[in-house]
Amino acid sequence: MQRKYIIAIVVIILLIVVPVLIYRVRTNQQSTRYITAAASKGTLISTVSGTGNVIASNSVKVSPSITGTVANLSVNLGDQVKKGQTLFTIVNDSLQVTADKAYTSYLQTKQALTTAQAGLVTAQANATNQNQDSGQAKAQASLDAAQAQLAQDQQTLNSTDSGAGNYSSLQQKVASDQGNVTAATIALQQAQVTGAANAKAANLQLSAAEQAVSIAQRNVDNALADYNNQKANADQRTVAAPIDGTITTLSIGNGDQIGGGAGGSGSGTGSTAPVVIDDLSSLEASVQVNEVDAPNVQTGQKVSMTFDAIDGLTLTGKVVKIDTVGTVSSGVVTYGATISFDSLDGRVRPGMSVSADITTAVKQDVLMVPNSAVKSDSNGNSYVEILKNGSPVQQAVQTGAGNDTDT
């Protein structure tokens, strides 16, 4: 990579009209002749060069992930296509069979979910009934009635004279009432135990029904996801253009095997993709710049570009991106720069070699001398030599921007 940028402005004291010494030539008679050049003011343009290729900023590799046989190929290399346009189909009947089985499984899980939901409704109703057990209420009512009857008969017995003719029968009635109270108490206790057991069982059944619905719902979700996946695979048998553009790569034909590593990368990211579509209305240039020059390249800088394949064509553009991470090749570090075109020429195609001159600085009305006139002393200070009375004299200078010829 040729270096064309040196530093900033040239300031040379007292040299505007004074010739500077470029080099010395000794004649056969050992005399010295000096070659000089005049310092002058002008416009200094500094550039950085880079080489690379034309790329499409919107480029898509079409490479199906399913396997099968190519059929109904409807495009040719160089054809323009529209987004959604069918490019070709893939014959693979097993994909539809798998999708149909997945759909059947999905319907079965939906039916199982419906059954589980019906079971949950029944379990909820049973749990409600058991938690509001009418048996306990009836037993409690029977006990209350027996206790009331006992109290009434006991009061009648207490108010009756023991010598009365019905006293004995009243005693028997109270004794019977006491037996009824005892029996009702036992019945209530049994109803309470039974009710608690039934409520517990009903609640367990409710919990199991809720879990069954949850499991059935997960099964439906999984079956639906599997069906959607299998259907998506089956739908890939029709391959359509993902963008508007031009077919720039076409490496398949009818009858070829494709997918899963046959005829193209399954991921669609490899260079072996069977179909590549480029948007030729959005071309850019991608060039590599030497690491020494890269710090001077910035977005927005103007660029002049030529093409190996097209004699005499020069296009202009500007830098739109400069990589922050370099690439090492054979020990040389370069940085990628992306360049947009101000206008396009119909002959320019993706992949063409391009040489770019990036204008990194334009200095107007600055003092310039030829690069060969600028020297450095042992301390690294810059100077030029001027002739005074026929002899060279060092003149310190402050150097700045430069290009291939001038500083």
CATH number for the domain that contains residue 379: 2.40.30.170
DSSP state of 371: G
CATH number for the domain that contains residue 197: 1.10.287.620
Q: Percent of the chain at pLDDT above 90?
A: 37
Of these ranges, 258-272, 278-292, 393-407, the one predicted with the greatest mean pLDDT is 278-292
In the chain the first and final C-alpha atoms are separated, in Å, by 20
Do 207 and 267 belong to one domain?
no
Residue 124 lies in a domain: yes
Do 224 and 287 belong to one domain?
no
Q: What are phi and psi of 112, to 5 degrees?
A: -65, -35
SS3 39: coil
pTM: 0.54
175 vs 26 pLDDT, higher one: 175
296 vs 128 pLDDT, higher one: 296
Q: Which of 79, 64, 77, 96 is nearest to 256 (CA)?
A: 64
pLDDT class of 201 with cuts at 50, 70, 90: confident
Do 332 and 287 belong to one domain?
yes
Give CA–CA dist 326/334, Å, rounded.
Answer: 5
Do 169 and 113 belong to one domain?
yes
Give CA–CA dist 23/181, Å, rounded.
Answer: 137
pLDDT class of 15 with cuts at 50, 70, 90: very low
Residue 7 lies in a domain: no
Do 289 and 373 belong to one domain?
yes
Do 245 and 200 belong to one domain?
no
Please check the confidence at residue 3 and state whether its pLDDT lies above 90: no
Neighbouring-strand partners of residue 21: 36, 385
Mean pLDDT along residues 167-188: 76
Residue 108 lies in a domain: yes
Per-residue pLDDT of 306-344, as tens digits, reads: 999 999 999 999 999 999 998 998 999 999 999 999 998
Per-residue pLDDT of 58-87, as tens digits, reads: 889 998 888 999 999 999 999 999 999 999
Give the residue from 223, 258, 275 where a domain finishes. 275
Return mean pLDDT, the chain.
80
Q: What is the pLDDT of residue 106?
A: 94
DSSP state of 40: E
195 vs 75 pLDDT, higher one: 75
Residue 405 lies in a domain: no
Q: Which of 307, 308, 319, 310 is nearest to 48 (CA)?
A: 319
Q: Domains in the chain: how many in total? A: 3
Q: What is the pLDDT of residue 25?
A: 52
Q: Which of 42, 15, 60 is nearest to 278 (CA)?
A: 60
Do 124 and 149 belong to one domain?
yes
Please check the confidence at residue 5 and state whether its pLDDT lies above 50: no
Domain that holds residue 333: 19-58+279-396
Do 385 and 289 belong to one domain?
yes
Please check the confidence at residue 375 and state whether its pLDDT lies above 70: yes
13 vs 273 pLDDT, higher one: 273
Do 249 and 360 belong to one domain?
no
Give CA–CA dist 67/343, Å, rounded.
Answer: 42
Q: Which of 20-24, 29-33, 297-301 has the lowest mean pLDDT?
A: 20-24
pLDDT class of 1 with cuts at 50, 70, 90: very low
Q: What is the pLDDT of residue 265?
A: 35
Give CA–CA dist 247/262, Å, rounded.
Answer: 20
Q: What is the pLDDT of residue 260?
A: 59
Give the residue from 221, 254, 275 where a domain finishes. 275
